[in-house]
Structure 1
């Protein structure tokens, strides 16, 4: 028996994540031009944070999006997929904003991290619950 893979809803969040990554990468490039640094951070704390904001998104978005795709294929609720995808994008924006402003702890960074991890764990639970 074959199972058609659905990606219609997830593609929206994949595209938005791609846009977010492009904006964050552009922010790094702008910092490199401003501080005239070709590789690394050149000892500039602001540039270092920009690099980490982009890096953190690159580290978290791929697995979160794969989980979202799997949920879309495991659960028949498009609304649930939209809620999870929206949560992911919102939390990645919060995290980026919080870390971009300060290397220390901040509420946007905390809620961005906690929300991203919560979204991923919810996806894991939904996938496992619908796999048996």
Structure 2
């Protein structure tokens, strides 16, 4: 996989969320991603960026244009230095929440994208990486 373009955006306040979402949308338009896949990626990005703020105390979100063969996509990486996730298996179950939100949660987010990876270490932080392919 090749990285064609990369940008990192610090997310530490609620006011950082909308500009970040707008940047993601700009990247999807640049590679010619269809509206349905744009919507899925932006929805997933919104959920993950809000999780990073709420549970991880903020962090950095990277936007990358990636290519594999002729296919292009957007990879988003959300990295925080928060308390981490005690039980990733539990956190990935539908209906699981530690808050009072009706958010998509991690399982809903995973269904919106083509690739989803989560790594977390208690007291060290969490990194979630997602990819949405232009034609996927």
TM-score (norm 1): 0.35
Judging by fraction of residues, say which structure has more strand: 2
TM-score (norm 2): 0.35
Judging by fraction of residues, say which structure has more helix: 1
